[in-house]
Amino acid sequence: TTLFQTGTSGDCDSDEENFDEIYWKMGSTNMKKFFASLKSIPPKSLSLTKEVLRKRKQLDVTVQGLQPQIKVGLIKLEEIRKTQQELVNHKAEVEKNINFEYEVDVINTIKKVISGTREQATNCTNCQFTCDFPCRCSDGWKWFCAAMDMWGNCKVCPDHCAMRYHKLQNYTFEYDIKKEKRTYEDMKAKYEKACGQKLTQEKLKQKLEEELGQIQSKVHDLVETVSRCLARLD
């Protein structure tokens, strides 16, 4: 897909503009198209050696695991953007430090029980994330799980946790969107607690902008990783 095309260094500015446009304009319909495009990649003709199959499985697991992380990141970006917009919409209240309520879309993590099959998932108990499904390895043989690297750390979960935090379980972690009401006071208190000081209007806006940049960078890195994996599968 166009999203995963890589350009030369001379195309950097254009690539960044395209990425900005993607994550700012990506609504629910475009997100569905984005993830559907990953599923529509045609199978490749590979020599069926054990090593090739192992590497392909690792790449498939990585792509599968990074998709929900990209989705979560995009929704978080939209949550912050909506918060910034609410500060603009309620400028008078903000200037007078008057509380107000607003609503945002947030990620809701759910456990989906695997039924009608003996298949199990390797889940990270620290990140609450499904790293490999279906996983063919028993708990005692997690070294051979396609999600693990040679040092026993996960290549898929958000914090790349050690093997000991991973368990075979009969459910997967999935994500949907729910509406959540927020208040200006609670939002401001959260950022003040995080930085350990009272925040002025400008400082609060700055903190939101910093968080936005951090998540944007993370989503960009995830997309680049998926791009490299797909290129290696070509």
Q: What pLDDT, on a 0 to 100 scale, did the predictor assign at position 213?
A: 93
Q: What pLDDT, on a 0 to 100 scale, did the predictor assign at position 146?
A: 87
59 or 131, greater pLDDT? 131
Q: Is 60 exceeded by the pLDDT of residue 184? A: yes
The mean-pLDDT minimum among 126-140, 158-172, 186-200 falls in 126-140
What share of the chain has pLDDT > 70, as a percent?
75
How far is the C-alpha of 80 from the C-alpha of 72, rounded, in Å? Answer: 12
Q: Is 90 exceeded by the pLDDT of residue 227? A: no
The mean-pLDDT minimum among 1-5, 17-21, 37-41, 60-64 falls in 1-5
Q: Is 70 exceeded by the pLDDT of residue 86? A: yes
Q: Is 80 exceeded by the pLDDT of residue 48? A: no
Average pLDDT over residues 56-83: 87
Q: Give the C-alpha distances (Å, rounded to integers) separating 228 from 22, 59, 224, 232.
A: 19, 9, 6, 6
Q: What is the mean pLDDT of the chain?
A: 81
Q: CB-based burial of residue 120 (10 Å sphere; 0-12 exposed, 13-18 middle, 19+ buried)?
A: buried
User: Please, which pLDDT band fits residue 87 given cuts at 50, 70 and 90?
Assistant: very high
Only one residue has tokens 């000991």, namely: 164
Q: Is 60 exceeded by the pLDDT of residue 115? A: yes
Sign of CA pseudo-dihedral 39, 43, 44, 47: positive
Q: What pLDDT, on a 0 to 100 scale, did the predictor assign at position 63?
A: 83
Q: What pLDDT, on a 0 to 100 scale, did the predictor assign at position 1?
A: 31
Asked if 232 and 59 touch (Cβ cutoff 8 Å), the reply is yes
The mean-pLDDT minimum among 125-129, 150-154, 227-231 falls in 227-231
Which amino acid type is present at position 177? Answer: I
